[in-house]
Structure formats: structure tokens, C-alpha cells
Structure 1
Amino acid sequence: MELLSSGVALQTVPEKYIFPAHKRPAKELVDSSVALPVIDLRGGRLQGDGRDEIVREIVDAGKQFGFFQVVNHGVPEQLIEHMVGVSEELFNMPVEEKAKYYSDDPSIICRLGSSTPYDQNGIRYWRDYLKLVCYPVEEFMHLWPQKPDKFREVLAKYIVEVRELADKLLRLIAEGLGLEQDYFSGGFSGGQTQMNVNYYPPCPDPSLTLGLLPHCDRHLITLLVQGTAARGLQAKFEGKWIPVEPIRNAFVVNFGHQLEIITNGVLRSVEHRAVTNTSVARLSIASLIMPKTDCLIAPAKSLINEHNPPKYKSFTFEEFLSAYNAAAANREGVLEYFKIEE
């Protein structure tokens, strides 16, 4: 078992985590003057005069950034804090307890691991993770970690609230694009909801390594909580990386490849990555809203015409996952499989 959260504080970065000089984070420009939009959902009560404004803000953010943050979203703040708390407890458990959940087998529904499947030439990423399928709750709850003691109870409540928020956001997005409000329900968002709980321990030299590779998400939409005050998540904007500021109990929302393809490029799926820091461990909890594997993905018919022809051919989500893995999560590499030649 190989975990960074083993309880041993490393004084130097081991060779296998050191990236070639041209791939290190310091070699790319970071622009701290640009901030993602922060959208107030008014407690999740999305009716009345303010609804049109919220819809416009979400669609504008999707067109410009592919990312935004939401506050006053209706998910209880105490529940978010409990979810962050039990997740931190899990990574701080003794090694022998964590060993029960460790596996390198990607087919296992709930597993603890390290780095990513997309290691570059054997170079590892500075990240431990818990990956699990978490929705429908009754189908998968028995497979979740039994420790910490409250983990299953808290996660069961948390993911139901997050799913409800995701459904609200998808209805607002559909409305803003002139689609039927339930356009993204059914197969587009009806697959198994996955969760990545990411843990980035303090790194002796963050200039040498990365916590997570630059990538776009393979699914429909991601709702992510940043659990500490430490910066780490960065999104690509106009050729530079911009830090995604941690906002207490906010959700970072980003669009996956499927949403870009379904909207025929109107909304953007944007590269993002995680960098490390020397002082504190950073935790994030990403909930991944997935299509069903047999769902047919294609640009929405009402968004294409003779002046805006389809940019992508149709495919099943299962076919997309195969291409995504073959391209090692590279944005342009995976989209090349499905682009229609002009």
C-alpha cells in the first residue's frame, strides 16, 4: 500500500513525484487578478423576479469560464461541514485501518488510492483519494467505509442534498439555453453518481510536482466543496491558470465534456488542475453527475441549424469513456475522437 497520508512527514519530494522541468507548475503563468463568478442562489428558492438573473449569470459563467461558485444554495452548511469533517477523519485514521479500503483495481466500487490512473511516464501525483459510487444511496451504502463511525450516515444525507442541487442547476442551465427544463434529466444525468474525496498532504517543494493533472471532466457536471482555506484548485482561462478561491461552504461548479458537446460548444468544459502547498493538508469533495453508460450523447437539435451545424457526432457515454481513457484525459485528444470535420 502506497499512501502519502501514511503519517510520515516527508522532508523532501521523492524522485517518483518530481515532474520534468517543462511540466512543473511554475512553468505556466498564473493570473490571480481574475476570479470566478460567485452566484447567489438565494437559499435555493429559485422563483420570482430574481430567477431570470440567476439563469443569465449561470449561462454567462458557463460560456466565459466553464466554472462558477454558488452560495446560499440550500444545502445545509452544517451538513457540508460534517461531510468535510468525516472525510478528514478518514485520511487521518491509522494506516492499518485505511489498508482495509486500499486497492489499485479501478473496478472496485469503493476504494482508497493514491496519484491518478494517468501517471506520466511513471511520475506520480501528490494526491491520495477515496473513490466511491454514492447514488442511489440504498444501492451502494453498504459498500462505503464503516469508519469513521459517522461516515456512512453523513454521506447518505449529503449526497441526496447535492443531487437535488445538481438537478436545480441543470434545470436552470436548460432554461437559459431555451431547452425544456427537464432536458438534462433521464439518461443524461441518471447514471451512477460518483464521488472523489481528494486529499493533498503538505508538500516539501510544491514547485516540483502537481496534485492533479490538467484535465477536463468526462461526465456532465461536477459539484465540488473545498474543505480548507488553502488554495489548490486552478482553472484555465485565456491561456493562464486562475486560482479558485476557497469560499466557506460554497460549491464550485464546473461543466464536463458532455455538457459542452450537448450544447454544441455554447458552454465550455475547461481544463483544471490541483497544485500543492507546504503548510497544510488540503481536502476537496467532488460529486460527479454522470450519464447512463448507454445514453446517446449528441448536440441538442434545437441548438443546431444551417448557421450553427453540429460540431460533434453522436456516441454513447460508454464509447466516450473508452476514448477518454485512451487519451489519458487530454482535452484535445479525447474531443478529436468525436469532432465532425469542417
Structure 2
Amino acid sequence: MKEDKDLRSFEVGFVPENYIISKKYRPENLDIPVSDSIPLIDLQNTPLEEILKASQDFGFFQVINHGVPEKTMNDAMNVMEEFFDMPCKDESGIVSNSKNWVYEKSSNLTKEGVRLWRDNLKHPCYPLQKCIPLWPNKPPTYQKVIAAYIVEVHKLSLKIFEMICKGLGLDPGYFNDISEAQFLVANFYPPCPDPSLTLGLLPHRDPSLITVLNQGNSTGLQVLKNGEWINVGVVPNALIINIGNQLEIISNGKLKSVEHRVVTKKHEARRTIATHVNPSPDCIVEPAKALVNELEPPRYKSFRYIDFVERNKVFGDYTKEYTNAFQNVARSS
């Protein structure tokens, strides 16, 4: 298997050695049932307390009646399918490493000395009108479709933050000035001949305030709960919200950012669109002063978000390029 191709270029009957992860990360039980314990929240009818409880106990919940039109969600997923199905991406120059967005083949996604079973697209989304022309221009509808999707996800994120503010006792609009830096991460997980040997994503916590995930119609996401991995089911037209580690810090530990990973499937491909709602690059991240007192001292030190991104190599091998793009685009608003 050559390393200069993406996974979908091959029909292999085995997992190549450089994709086999260490035993400590291998999924031990791929037959665990889909869990019904992940909270499902109707944003039009569910009491605020349930949202706060889900954020505290799970760090993950699914939302329905969230306001993002079904057509907008489907259009976004369809255009991503077109994007990942385009042939000869690198040879044609359609998709490549650039100053403002990155397409990563599986062969570039080296973690723990091995490669992840996924292809991946990343790009900033804020400020939106300045970012749109910098996105991929193929498929031809990509920019229009994804822009429409990002607008709706932004509205949803503001709604989630408003509820969290009420639940924590923070001033309304507390997150308005620090949650503008949206970042899109789209993934393609091809069928894998032996899902027990590899992963689409290693266990991690998101470096965001919140992440809004459109997982389409296929399972694969797993969340760590009480030391065990549980499968997150697919609910039609639902979106997954997970608490990022930046929100855990701002809440002074009241809300939880939890580990999650992606397993692969033998006969089914999976595509997802994650929108990370991040602090602004120069934002000072620290526990909210309203949540700190003598009985509840700050559990975390203050830091500048862009320093966190660079120190933790949030964007992997492309962190340097992305911190520059992240700052340049966001500061141009």
C-alpha cells in the first residue's frame, strides 16, 4: 500500500501495518449495543435543568427541534460526500494544504506512530464572509451550501450558550464576544477490513467551547462513561452537542468535557461534519468570575486561547499554519 494515496483509492483486504494502533487503544468490543442513555433533548420543550444535567453528567447530548433545517443539514452532508468522492485530489490540485484550509489524507494523519483510518478536511468559518472565498471551490456548490449550514449552526450555538448561561447563573450573552471562532472539521471514514485493529479517531477531548456534530446516518462515535465506551446512536435530524475543554474551564469544572473516539466499520463508510465553536484567538480563557469564590476557588489557570492551540498542537502537524490563518482571518473582521 503506497502512502501517497488516500484510503478510498484502495480496496484492501487487510489493515496495513502502519494503520494498526497499539493494543492500549484498540476497541475491544465492537459488538456493544447502541446506548439509550445519551440524553436526547428537545430544545423546544425540555426544561433548562435537563440541558445542564446532560452537560454535567455526560458532556454529550443530542438535540432535536434545534432550528437547523433538515434540508440544510442534508445539503451539507451531500456536498461533503461529493468532496470526499472527488478523484485525484492532490494530482489535480483541487484539494491541498493551503494557508486557509487543509485536506489531509489518511497517510498524513499520524498519531502514536500510526495512521488513522480517515480522510479529513479543516477550515476556519469566522468571520464567515471573509472565510467563504478561501474555502474549496469544488464541488461548485461547496461554498454556498456550507455557508448556509454554518449560519444555522451559529444560531444554534448561541441558543445553547444562552441556556448554559441561565443554568450556570452567568450574565446573558456572556459567551457572545468569546465564541465567534467557528472551525469546521469534516471526516470520511471508509470501510475497514478489520475494525478491531484501527480507529478513525483516537480518544480525545475537544479543544472547543462546544462542538456541534452532524453524524449523518451512521454510528461510530463512542463516548467514555464510567470507564466504559458506549455507542452513540443515530437519531434522525438530530445534532450532537459535546462540551469542549474550554467550556469546562470557564464553568470551573461544573460542566464536563469527556473523552470520545470513532470506531470504523467493515462494510459501511461514515461521513461527519463537526463545527467547533472556539474562543477567539486572543481570548483569555479562565473560570468565570461569577463562579469563583472562597468556597469554590478557581480550578484552572488563565491562558490565551491561541497559546493553548499552539502548545497542544490542536491541529496536529498543521498547527503552525492554522494558528497563523486563525489569527489573520479572525482579526481581519
Q: TM-score range by the shorter chain?
A: 0.7 to 0.9
Q: Please tell me whether the aligned partners of residues 35 and 232 of structure 2 are also in contact (alpha carbons under 8 angstroms).
A: no
Q: Please tell me whether the aligned partners of residues 28 and 241 of structure 1 are also in contact (alpha carbons under 8 angstroms).
A: no
The residue that corresponds to 1:61 in the other structure is 54
Tell me which of 228, 237, 240 is aligned to 1:249.
Answer: 237
The residue that corresponds to 1:13 in the other structure is 15
Tell me which of 167, 179, 189 is aligned to 1:189.
Answer: 179
Q: Please tell me whether the aligned partners of residues 95 and 136 of structure 2 are also in contact (alpha carbons under 8 angstroms).
A: no
Tell me which of 236, 250, 264 is aligned to 1:276.
Answer: 264
Q: Which amino acid letter does the alignment assign opposite residue 212 of structure 1?
A: L
The residue that corresponds to 1:219 in the other structure is 208
Cα pair distance change 1:307/1:327, threshold 3 Å: farther
Deviations 1:287-308 (A, max 9, x none): 0111111111111111112211
Instruction: Give the superposition deviation at 1:34.
Output: 4.9
Map 1:114-263 onto structure 2 (within 5 A): 114-115=105-106, 119-186=110-177, 188-191=178-181, 193-228=182-217, 230-263=218-251
Q: Which amino acid letter does the alignment assign opposite residue 283 of structure 1?
A: R
Runs of 4 or more, structure 1, over 6 Å off, are: none
Q: Which amino acid letter does the alignment assign opposite residue 321 of structure 1?
A: V
Deviations 1:250-276 (A, max 9, x none): 110001111000000000001110000
Which consecutive unaligned segments of at least 5 residues does structure 1 have?
43-49, 329-342
SS of 1:153's partner is helix
Cα pair distance change 1:34/1:249, threshold 3 Å: closer
Counterpart-to-counterpart distance in 1, 2:89 and 2:207: 33
Q: Please tell me whether the aligned partners of residues 131 and 195 of structure 1 are also in contact (alpha carbons under 8 angstroms).
A: yes
The residue that corresponds to 1:46 in the other structure is none
Q: How many residues align?
A: 314
The residue that corresponds to 2:6 in the other structure is 3
The residue that corresponds to 1:72 in the other structure is 65
Deviations 1:170-205 (A, max 9, x none): 01101111111201110x2022x1101110000000
SS of 2:41's partner is strand
The residue that corresponds to 1:339 in the other structure is none
SS of 2:93's partner is helix
Q: Which amino acid letter does the alignment assign opposite residue 278 of structure 2?
A: M
Counterpart-to-counterpart distance in 1, 2:310 and 2:75: 36
CA RMSD of aligned residues (A): 2.3
Instruction: Give the superposition deviation at 1:319.
Output: 2.0
Cα pair distance change 1:19/1:39, threshold 3 Å: same
Cα pair distance change 1:27/1:151, threshold 3 Å: same
SS of 2:312's partner is helix
Counterpart-to-counterpart distance in 2, 1:10 and 1:239: 33
SS of 1:320's partner is helix
Q: Please tell me whether the aligned partners of residues 62 and 255 of structure 1 are also in contact (alpha carbons under 8 angstroms).
A: yes
SS of 1:83's partner is helix
Which consecutive unaligned segments of at least 5 residues does structure 2 have?
317-333
Q: Which amino acid letter does the alignment assign opposite residue 245 of structure 2?
A: H
Q: Which amino acid letter does the alignment assign opposite residue 164 of structure 1?
A: K
The residue that corresponds to 2:80 in the other structure is 87
Map 1:26-41 onto structure 2 (within 5 A): 26=28, 32-41=34-43
Instruction: Give the superposition deviation at 1:102.
Output: 4.0
Cα pair distance change 1:25/1:269, threshold 3 Å: same
Counterpart-to-counterpart distance in 2, 1:109 and 1:158: 19
Q: Which amino acid letter does the alignment assign opposite residue 84 of structure 2?
A: F
Instruction: Give the superposition deviation at 1:135.
Output: 2.7
Map 1:89-104 onto structure 2 (within 5 A): 89-96=82-89, 99-103=92-96
Instruction: Give the superposition deviation at 1:31.
Output: 6.9
Q: Which amino acid letter does the alignment assign opposite residue 138 of structure 1?
A: Q
Q: Which amino acid letter does the alignment assign opposite residue 75 of structure 1?
A: V
